[in-house]
Each structure stands twice: as C-alpha cells, then as structure tokens.
Amino acid sequence: MTTTTSPPPRQASTGREPPLAESPPVRAARLAHRRRLVVWSSPVVVVLLLVALKLLTMVAAGHQAKAAFDGGSITSLEQAGQQMAFLNLVERHKAPFALGDAAVLSGDFDTARARFEQALAASPADGLESCQVRVNLVLALEKLGDAAATTGAAAAKPYYDRIAAVATAAPAGCFQPQGQGTGQQLDDARSRAQQKGNASQPQPGQSPGQDPQQPGTGKEQQLDQKTKDNESQRAQGADGARDSTGGSRPQVDKPW
C-alpha cells in the first residue's frame, strides 16, 4: 500500500511582489544620492532659519528703538539700529533710519543726513515708509543749510535745493490722509527752503548770517527741542532719562 504526500497549502496572494534584494552597489548609490540631497538643501534651510530669526529680532529691535527714542537714549537707539542692520535683508530702510535718529539726538546732522539718504534709497519708492524718511531727511538738510548760511548763501543753497527735490519727489500717498500729515510737513519744509535759498542778501538792519526767515514750526521745533534735551542730559550725565515732570518729550517721525 502506497501513501501519497499532499503538497503544503499555498498562502493567499497579497497582490504584491516580494522585495528584491538590494545589491551593495545599488545601496551605495542610493545613500550617496541621499547625502547629496541633504547637502544641497542645507543652505536653503539655513537661509530660511536666518530669515525667521531676522524677523523675530526686527520686532524686538523695533520696540527697543521706539522706547529709546521716546526716552532720549542715544546709546540704546544706536544699539537697536545696529541690531536691525545685521543681516539687513528685510525692511532695509529701518536700520539706517534708526541710526539717523540717533545722530539727530546727538546733534550730528551731517551723519543724520547720510543715514536718512541711505534709508530713503532702501525704502519702497511709492511706499508710505518713504514719507517719514523724507520728513526727517529734509529737516536734517535744513539744519545743515541754516548752519552753512552763516558763511554765505552760496554754501547753503545746495542743501535747500536738495530739500526741494526730496519733497517734490514724494509719492502721492504722503499728501493723502494715510500719509499722517507728512505731506504738509514736506510742503512746509520746501517752502522754507525756497525762501531761504532766495534770500541771498541780508535784509536792512539784519546782521550777516542771520536767518531772514522766522523760526521753523512744527516738526522743526520739535527736532530742535529734542536735540536740546539730549545735550542738556549729556551735560548732566543723565542721557536717556525722562523729563523731571515725567512727561514725554516732543518726537520726530519714526517708522517702527
């Protein structure tokens, strides 16, 4: 009597082929390709991280700059401006603007002018950010022009001409409600500059070098007061302190 052995039962098909064994050369090539992808994508990841870090630090530096300006602290305002200038890839006008305001507080209007010119060049051409930059630039130019006028009208004329050019090139938004009055400030500065530039000779009874126009108003007076406050503070060794009454000092425009 013979016995037959039945074949083992077959497993149900899953519809998938069993994975093929990966040869060492194929595996090495795959791992090398993966390493190249990681290396190539690393710079992009680093840039994205730096941009994210920059955006976070810009917010903190902006708050510091505002508080420093309100408190009249030149050192703190310069630090905020330098912090914003590091990896200055976004909102590039803010760093030189803050440094320009720090120069204004210290009474260095020539440095302030250079910083505001730099900020204007970095501002969006038709953006409202340029309106605030233009106001501070023309005020710094006016201070320099008035100082140069003491040696003669010819020395002051380039400053006054630049004021007219900056104000005239302002975008239309500066003169609309969203411009927050910057258009009027620019018009006033341009009018004063034209009058001063046309006054080539001192008026009767006026000593040479004396400004034939009335003192400036509005932002110009505020800027004067701000500078005087800080000069007084430095003389007393109290740079950055508040007024003795606890009130806020006059301000010039700032885009933070």
The average pLDDT across 52-62 equals 69
What pLDDT is recorded for position 148? 94
- Give pLDDT, residue 149: 92
According to the model, what pLDDT value does residue 91 have?
A: 83
Q: Locate 74 and state its tokens.
A: 């030149």
Residues of the domain holding 192: 126-202+211-223
Question: Is 148 a member of any domain?
Answer: yes
pLDDT value at residue 36: 77
| Domain identity same for 216 and 171 | yes
Q: What burial letters (b/e) apply to 190-199, b meaning 16+ CB within 10 Å?
A: bebbeebbeb
53: CATH: 1.25.40
pLDDT at 171: 93
pLDDT band at 5 (very low <50, low <70, confident <90, very high): low
Closest among 105, 106, 138 to 119, alpha carbons compared: 138
For 76-123, what is each residue's pLDDT tens digit? 999 889 888 877 777 889 999 999 999 999 999 999 999 999 999 999
pLDDT in tens, 194-220: 999 887 545 555 555 454 444 445 555
